[in-house]
Amino acid sequence: MSFLVVAIMWVNNHALMATVRHATRAILWQNNHLLFWMSLIPFATNILGENPRLADAYAVYGFVLAASAAAFASLRWLASTQGRDDQALARVHRTVLSKSLLGTSFYALSVPLAYPSIFAAIAIFIAVPVMFFLPIFAPRVDLQSD
């Protein structure tokens, strides 16, 4: 599951960076912020793997995923400020940003839900990647090949 989350973020980051006109300091630092939170995913995965019945482990995992998703949403918002004059691109940014914020909210919700039901947290951990992975939920984005 963690690999799938990282893979989706990597693909989405690549697609997002293809829309950026100028790599500003703010975008580079926000990208580093995202990388920081993503670097904690293996740590949170390890805690969960060693403590599969402990609600705290699911809460830590959910927190790290929520922070990663929030950092990505923030990067998306920052990148979208460069493409405001392109209506089609602005629409894609709005669509994906709203989906990113929804994913962030679900991951954040998994933290308190882990205590009454680890199965509710697991359901969220599965649902959010599905939302990004399945093409029926994704806006069409044409990237120019390098």
pLDDT tens string 119-128: 999 999 999 9
* Rounded-to-integer distance, Cα 74 and Cα 30, Å: 7
In a domain, 140, yes or no: no
Residue 142 has pLDDT above 90, yes or no: no
Number of domains, the chain: 1
Does residue 143 belong to any structural domain of this protein?
Answer: no
The reply to whether 127 falls in a domain is yes
The answer to whether residue 34 is domain-embedded is yes
Say yes or no to pLDDT of 76 above 80.
yes
pLDDT at position 70 is 97
Residue 141 included in any domain: no
Mean model confidence pLDDT for the chain? 88
Q: Is residue 145 part of a domain?
A: no
Q: What are the DSSP calls for 8-43, one per residue?
A: HHHHHHHHHHTT-SS--HHHHHHHHHHHHHHHTHHH
Residue 23 domain boundaries: 2-134
